[in-house]
């Protein structure tokens, strides 16, 4: 080790942030069965550190200080019982070490901690999704020391970070001859199998072969006198050491793709699917894009990092290059390596570049093809995908006009023809089941699946055996404003406008409807007068079977559900007066029809209020509603 002198005066002991303590504890106890992942994580960090240096050195070549052969080294020491992973990458300053190795400053942290259950297996999976990282060292180490010098900092300003993972860590200013970071693990009792050149090499090849930098270990030779392998002083490279995405597809195994994904996505789980292509022509680039198995914790966080890693001619440029994919594909992870962009490309340039536009369009198309293929050939995977990312894909309908039709085919919905809240019905499925004479795709939207599935508006559709899509995701109403039709069929809300089911009604029904409309005219007029400004209109409907009344709005007006959403979001929403529709065949309506004048206002308000409740609205004056209902239940007259 090149540490020569410890300046005690500059040493301080700090406590880990509470979340780190919790994470460390969980990690040690839940991930033990997969303990060798610490090596993958440390190598992954070392590789990122070298990438960062190479990028900073584009503008500031002095940072290399004559040593631009970036590499990662793994050593072990049987006497000391240590394993060390070192790199000559960017290194860390004192502040960086304290911040990076003492806190978790990542979006999604709150969500992660709120989802922990205490069940080891479930939590282990959550930790994996959250990101394991440096702290996984403590699964096998009783003490970890990190010696690091930031590129460009003087020799005397290196730091030594040490911790036993119990709650505190110390940082001391020390000397270090070369830049970069060296992480040493003092193994716990019983972890001696990592003190073995063969075991380490095997683990590195399995987990880290895709790393584009050389990972070196000291060569070992058989010593016949000692009858064991002994280390020489010569370094040898133990991985393939070229960027995985530049290799030919046929030379890459599924395992290698999966391990590469874990490195770029900081995920612990395998990806669900990937697409790897070299694009030539006007714009030249390679894309290796992955669809994760789980939504990240920060998918709904506006400030969350997103996007893929951008490389230019194999040089790492930036993480989270969100310009390279449209927002509704923000869950996609991977790498795009451009042959055309300048090395000094900035985020601002990315926004305006024509090459970037070509990459974004090309990448979106590739991901859509990947999803289409999954939907068609791997139904189970697609179900999983939709559960995790369906709501985000729906944003694409409004966001990506050029691909709207392709995205519409990928959509899945809950439906009256399927079980429960699972979204499994495609628009094409729906169209294939449409009844003769049916020319619209019907849907109902509400605040929750239960409210949609029990909507009174569904009654006539159930009776006629017509399928209705049930929408209850927040994004649905917004999406529907862009999705007016599919396959030439209009999408129609069953809670809006007059229902035009005439084509589907038989002669007898039509006759019945005409008769009742005439018969109920006086009641309709009475209700109108009684309810006054509360309603826009009152009319007789054929859409109800079991309910006495329902409320609807006009075709071009905001649905009540959308109105509530806007109001909840603090936005101005126009007050839309509902149209009250009554079921002429319902006993309660007959009761109202025969009600004496003295009671009539009470009855009409009761009808309106309960129709509002069934629709999901909250009443402005619920107490009066209850009083009124009780009174009428007890049969008391005014
Ligand atoms: N070898 C290294 N050289 C320089 N910085 C490092 C090194 N190892 C870790 N770091 C810094 O510490 C931070 C925290 O590392 P850690 O592995 O915990 O998380 P991460 O890599 O950001 O994400 P994940 O937890 O998903 O792996 C890194 O983001 C990096 O800034």
CA of 397 to the centre of ligand 1 (A): 37
Distance 169 CA to ligand 1 centre (A): 16
Choosing from 17, 50, 100, 215 the residue with most ligand 1 atoms within 8 A of its CB, the one to mutate for a pocket test is 100
Helix (H) or strand (E) holding 550: strand 549-552
Here the ipTM equals: 0.97
Question: Where does CATH 3.30.565.10 sit in the chain?
Answer: 8-240
Please report, for residues 16, 99, 270, 576, the alpha-carbon distance to residue 110 in angstroms, rounded to integers and kept in the order given: 17, 18, 24, 38
Residue closest by Cα to atom 7 of ligand 1: 45
Instruction: Kindly state if the Cβ of 90 falls inside 6 Å of ligand 1.
Output: yes
Q: How far is the CA of 45 from the centre of ligand 1 (A)?
A: 5
Query: Which residues make up the CATH 3.40.50.11260 domain(s) of the chain?
Result: 412-494
What spatial distance separates the first Cα and last Cα of the chain, rounded to whole Å? 94
DSSP 8-state secondary structure symbol assigned to residue 6: B
Distance separating alpha carbons of residues 332 and 306, to the nearest angstrom: 8
- Ranges of residues in the chain whose predicted pLDDT is under 70: 1-9, 302-304, 306, 498-505, 636-638
> 48 C-alpha to center of ligand 1: Å?
8
Cross-strand partners of 170: 13, 162
Q: Is the CB of 388 under 6 A from ligand 1?
A: no
Please give the structure tokens belonging to residue 303. Answer: 């400030």
Contact between 19 and 151 under an 8 Å Cβ cutoff? The reply is: no
| Ligand 1 atom closest to Cα of residue 87 | 1
- By the 8 A CB rule, do 151 and 56 touch? yes
| DSSP-derived 3-state class of residue 175 | coil
Rounded CA gap, 619 and 613, in Å? 7
Task: Tell me the C-alpha distance between 629 and 638, whole Å.
Answer: 13
Question: CA 204, CA 143: separation in Å to the nearest integer?
Answer: 22
133 CB near ligand 1 (under 6 Å):
yes
* Domain 8-240 falls under CATH 3.30.870.10: no
Distance 235 CA to ligand 1 centre (A): 25
- Ligand 1 center–CA 475 separation, angstroms: 35
525 Cβ contact list (under 8 Å, min separation 6): none
Q: Which CATH architecture has domain 245-377?
A: 2-Layer Sandwich (3.30)
Q: Locate CATH 1.20.120.790 in the chain.
A: 503-633
Going by alpha carbons, the residue nearest to atom 25 of ligand 1 is 133
- For position 2, what pLDDT does the model report? 44
CB 98 within 8 A of CB 148: no
Query: Which residues lie below 8 Å from residue 35, measured CB to CB, with a gap of 6+?
Result: 139, 140, 191
CB 106 near ligand 1, within 6 Å: no
Q: What is the rounded distance in angstroms from the CA atom of residue 265 to the CA atom of residue 273?
A: 13
- Answer CATH for 503-633 from 1.20.120.790, 1.10.630.10, 2.40.50.100, 2.60.40.10: 1.20.120.790
Cβ of 636: how many Cβ atoms within 10 Å?
10
Query: Is residue 129 within 6 Å of ligand 1 at its C-beta?
Result: no
Cα separation, 332 vs 440, whole angstroms: 34
SS (H, E, C) 452-505: HHCCHHHHHHHHHCCCCEEECCCCHHHHHCCCCEECCEEEEECCECCCCCHHHC
- What are the residues facing 285 on neighbouring strands? 279, 338
Of ligand 1's listed atoms, the one at least distance from the Cα of 132 is 25
d(CA 297, CA 289): 20
Binding residues for ATP: 41, 45, 87, 92, 100, 107-108, 129-134, 181, 347
d(CA 147, CA 382): 46
Top-level class of domain 412-494 = alpha beta
């Amino acid at each position: 080790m090149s540490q020569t002198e410890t300046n005690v005066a500059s040493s301080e002991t700090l406590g880990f942030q509470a979340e780190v303590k919790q994470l460390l504890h969980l990690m040690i106890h839940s991930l033990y069965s997969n303990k060798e992942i610490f090596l993958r994580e440390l190598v992954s960090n070392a590789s990122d550190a070298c990438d960062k240096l190479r990028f900073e050195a584009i503008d500031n070549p002095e940072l290399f200080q004559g040593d631009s052969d970036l590499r990662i080294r793994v050593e072990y020491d049987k006497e000391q019982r240590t394993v060390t992973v070192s790199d000559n990458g960017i290194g860390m300053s004192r502040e960086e070490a304290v911040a990076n190795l003492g806190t978790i400053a990542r979006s999604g942290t709150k969500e992660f901690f709120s989802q922990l259950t205490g069940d080891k297996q479930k939590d282990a999976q959550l930790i994996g999704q959250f990101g394991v990282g440096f702290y996984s060292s403590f699964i096998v180490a009783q003490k970890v020391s990190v010696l690091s010098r930031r590129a460009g900092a003087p020799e005397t300003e290196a730091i030594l970070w040490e911790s036993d993972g119990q709650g505190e860590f110390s940082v001391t200013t020390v000397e270090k001859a070369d830049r970069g970071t060296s992480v040493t693990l003092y193994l716990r009792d019983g972890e001696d199998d990592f003190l073995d050149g063969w075991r380490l090499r095997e683990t590195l090849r399995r987990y880290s072969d895709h790393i584009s930098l050389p990972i070196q270990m000291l060569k070992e030779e058989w010593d016949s006198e000692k009858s064991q392998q002994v280390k020489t002083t010569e370094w040898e490279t133990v991985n393939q050491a070229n960027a995985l995405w530049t290799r030919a597809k046929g030379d890459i195994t599924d395992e290698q793709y999966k391990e590469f994904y874990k490195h770029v996505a900081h995920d612990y789980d395998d990806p669900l699917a990937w697409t790897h292509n070299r694009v030539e022509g006007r714009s030249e680039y390679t894309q290796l894009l992955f669809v994760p198995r789980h939504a990240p914790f920060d998918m709904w966080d506006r400030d969350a990092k997103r996007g893929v890693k951008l490389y230019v001619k194999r040089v790492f440029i930036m993480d989270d290059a969100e310009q390279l994919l449209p927002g509704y594909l923000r869950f996609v992870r991977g790498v795009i390596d451009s042959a055309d962009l300048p090395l000094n490309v900035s985020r601002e340039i990315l926004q305006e570049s024509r090459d970037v536009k070509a990459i974004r369009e090309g990448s979106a198309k590739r991901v859509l093809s990947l999803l289409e293929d999954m939907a068609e050939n791997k139904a189970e995977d697609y179900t999983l995908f939709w559960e995790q990312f369906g709501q985000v894909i729906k944003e694409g309908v409004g966001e990506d006009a050029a691909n709207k039709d392709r995205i519409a085919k990928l959509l899945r919905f809950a439906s009256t023809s399927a079980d429960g809240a699972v979204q499994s019905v495609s628009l094409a499925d729906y169209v294939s089941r449409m009844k003769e004479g049916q020319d619209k795709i019907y849907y109902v939207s509400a605040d929750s699946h239960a409210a949609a599935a029990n909507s009174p508006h569904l009654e006539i559709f159930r009776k006629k055996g017509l399928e209705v899509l049930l929408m209850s995701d927040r994004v649905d109403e917004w999406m529907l404003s862009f999705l007016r039709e599919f396959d030439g069929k209009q999408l129609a809300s069953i809670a809006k406008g007059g229902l035009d089911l005439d084509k589907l009604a038989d002669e007898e029904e039509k006759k019945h409807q005409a008769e009742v409309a005439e018969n109920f005219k006086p009641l309709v007029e009475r209700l109108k007068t009684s309810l006054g400004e509360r309603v826009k209109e009152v009319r007789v409907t054929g859409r109800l079977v079991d309910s006495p009344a329902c409320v609807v709005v006009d075709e071009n007006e905001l649905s009540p559900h959308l109105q509530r959403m806007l109001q909840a979001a603090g936005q101005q929403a126009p007050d839309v007066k509902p149209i009250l529709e009554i079921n002429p065949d319902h006993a309660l309506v007959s009761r109202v029809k025969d009600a004496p004048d003295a009671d009539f206002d009470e009855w009409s308000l009761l009808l309106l209020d309960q129709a509002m409740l069934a629709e999901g609205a909250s009443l402005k004056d619920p107490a009066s509603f209850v009083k009124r209902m009780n009174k009428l239940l007890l049969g008391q007259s005014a």
